Amino acid sequence: MKNIAVIYWSATGNTEAMALAIAEGAKREGISIRLFEVGNASVEDVLKADAVALGCPSMGAEELEEEEMEPFVSFLENEDLKSKPMVLFGSYDWGDGQWMREWEERMTKLGVYLVEDGLIIQNTPDEAGIKKCNELGAKLANL
Ligand SMILES: Cc1cc2nc3c(=O)[nH]c(=O)nc-3n(C[C@H](O)[C@H](O)[C@H](O)COP(=O)(O)O)c2cc1C
Domain range list for the chain:
4-141
Q: What is the pLDDT of residue 64?
A: 98
Give the Cα separation of 44 and 89 in Å (integer).
20
pTM score of the predicted model: 0.98
Residues of the chain with pLDDT under 70: 1
Alpha helices, DSSP H, located in 84-126:
98-109
Q: Which fold has domain 4-141?
A: Rossmann fold (3.40.50)
Give the Cα separation of 7 and 133 in Å (integer).
14
Share in percent of the chain as helix, strand, coil (round to 5): 40, 20, 40
pLDDT digits (tens, 9 = 90+) for 50-69: 999 999 999 999 999 999 99
Q: How far is the CA of 93 from the centre of ligand 1 (A)?
A: 6
Q: Which of 59, 98, 124, 133 maximizes ligand 1 atoms within 8 Å of its Cβ, making it the mutation to test the pocket?
A: 59
